[in-house]
Amino acid sequence: MPQAKMELRVRSVGPWPMNSYALVCPVTRQSVLIDPGADPDILQEMLTDAQPVGILITHTHPDHVGALDEMRARLNVRVMAHPGPHFEGLKLRADLWLNHGDKVRVGEHHLRAYHTPGHIGDIICTTIEGDERIIVGDTIFEGGPGKTWSVEGFHTTLRTLRNIVLAWPDETVCYPGHGPPFRLGDKRGAIEAFVGRDHSGFFGDATWEM
């Protein structure tokens, strides 16, 4: 039976613009809000004619959870996130911990979490089953991987790129926490070259070209 795809909505919010997303089941209108970073009124407007059933956190950096408490109070829905470790000192209260491979039903669709550590220990990507779109948070951007703060963190990113990101098909469309979406196949060559180079001792902001 052909199934109508989930509707994906996006708003750019906050002083250092980040992407808050909403996935909406077109049949039941059930929806999940992803990364309530800032601007609760804009996020609420994004959820017009949707029926929120959850808030999903890609990772706990402050720019991605700035409006979490406010949106949790407004929507009164369960919060879903990876069990961590979370951003320094953050006491995240989640109602459902998502580990690698866990699935969540939203209307007639299923979301699935992929743990993709490196940028931070609690980052997850969210796939929609039977759909080429993936919400990647700050795991990867069009221009490079998410920033790292230690050599160990960067090595973890390289492992995530090799084992998880490069295993996704070319037609995958990645929706990052900042900036525009991109097709994975258009970046595959650059990512493969990046993980193949010697980056010994490196951590920080990286581009695929370095």
Alpha carbons 11 and 59: distance in angstroms, whole number:
18
Mask for 17-56, x = binds Zn ion (CB under 5 A): ----------------------------------------
- The Cα 17–Cα 166 span in angstroms is 27
31, 48 in Cβ contact below 8 A?
Answer: no
Binding mask 56-95 for Zn ion (x = CB under 5 A): -----x-x--------------------------------
DSSP annotation string for 82-110: ---PPSTT-----SEE--TT-EEEETTEE
- 164: three-class secondary structure by DSSP: coil
Q: Which is nearer to Zn ion, 31 or 58 (CB)?
A: 58
Q: What is the rounded CA–CA span in Å between residue 112 and residue 16?
A: 28
**Residue 141 or 208 having the CB closest to Zn ion:** 141
Q: How far is the CB of 91 from Zn ion (least distance, A)?
A: 18
Q: Does 138 bind Zn ion (CB under 5 A)?
A: yes
Instruction: Candidates 177, 182, 194, 206: give the one binding Zn ion (CB under 5 A).
Output: 177
Choose between 107 and 177: whose C-beta lies nearer to Zn ion. Answer: 177
Q: Does residue 9 touch Zn ion according to CB under 5 A?
A: no
In the complex with Zn ion, the residue whose CB is nearer, 39 or 138, is 138
- Name the residue nearer to Zn ion (CB basis): 25 or 140: 140
Q: Determine contact, residues 202/151, Cβ cutoff 8 Å.
A: yes
- Say what the alpha-carbon torsion angle 67, 73, 76, 79 is, to the nearest 10 degrees: 40
Nearest approach, Cβ of residue 14 and Zn ion (Å): 9
Q: Which is nearer to Zn ion, 62 or 130 (CB)?
A: 62
Q: What is the DSSP letter of 162?
A: H
Size of the site for Zn ion (CB under 5 A): 4
Give the Cα separation of 49 and 146 in Å (integer): 33
What tokens appear for 93 in the block?
């209260």
Q: Which stretch binds Zn ion (CB under 5 A): 43-51, 132-140, 151-159, 182-190?
A: 132-140
Residues that bind Zn ion (CB under 5 A): 61, 63, 138, 177
